[in-house]
Chains A and B, each alone.
Chain A
Amino acid sequence: MAYDEPPQTEPVEIDETLFARIGNGEPDAFCELYYQTQNIIYSYTLSLLRNQCDAEDTLQETYLKIRSAAHLYRPFGKPMAWIFTIARNVCLMKFRQQKHLSAMNIENVPEPLDFSQIEDREDRVVLETAFTVLTEEEVRIIVLHAVSGLKHREISSLLELPLSTVLSKYNRGIKKLRKQLEGEFS
């Protein structure tokens, strides 16, 4: 299978001293970390939860937890992995809460994805199509690759999936997306 590595997006490089500064209460450090990583964390939570409201809640919750725990961060060369672990734990808690609500017969119907606020038609159609035709893991891998600029190897480590799985799902997803979009834009 062909292995394509699009060189479009520069990978995010996070200064690990930001965590200590956030722990010391420096708002500038927090804003720097937030703006560097917000799109990546949002795309991850959206691909996991498939609901914009839940993705926003989880984004906010994740950064609150990062603020709480920033003083505990020890530089080990993988700041994104640290942030992703917190985001994944917050998403898992959200899943548990949803399961608990449905077990108690409390109506918790998720709203369908609505991308109408994206003004550019092509951007909107591509994202809508990705969330419609691709499987959850395919969306997660493709969206993370597009937004973060991380290499497939780094994505496999963050998502705890074998590299071969990430590569095959990425290539399969891209093919499916291309085929579907050919119909949309022809």
Chain B
Amino acid sequence: MNHTTMELHIKKAISTLVPDLSKQIWNTPVEKATGTEWYLDGLPKARNKTKTTLRIFSSLAACLALCLVSFLWVDM
């Protein structure tokens, strides 16, 4: 028996064991996750768009202020 045949037997065997729970699972009420649940450990966290935008704008504003101060300093 070669490895391809063995893998085919394993695949067929597993498919006969798996129960069809799709309807049962769909009919079970679930709460929407907030993103901090234990089962989401290790997953990339979704970034908060508002926070990211605010951070970018505040960095830009700081840069602009620094440039202005430098310009005025040289000019004086």
A residues near B (Cβ < 8 Å) are 4, 6, 8-9, 23, 27, 30-31, 34-35, 38-39, 42-43, 46, 52, 56, 59-60, 63-65, 67-69, 71-72, 74, 76, 82, 85-86, 88-90, 93, 115, 117-120, 122-124, 126-127, 130, 142-143, 145-147, 174, 177-178, 181-182, 185
Contact present for A59 and B21 (CB under 8 Å): yes
Report B's interface with A, CB cutoff 8 A.
1-4, 6-22, 24-26, 28, 30-33, 35, 37-44, 46
Given A60-B24, A146-B11; 10 other pairs, CB 8 A cutoff:
A42-B14, A60-B21, A67-B30, A68-B31, A72-B33, A74-B46, A85-B41, A123-B12, A126-B10, A145-B7
Say yes or no: A64 contacts B14, CB within 8 Å.
no
Q: How far is the CA of A86 from the CA of B40 in the complex (A)?
A: 6
B21 touching A142, Cβ below 8 Å = no
Determine whether the beta carbon of B6 is less than 8 Å from that of A181: yes
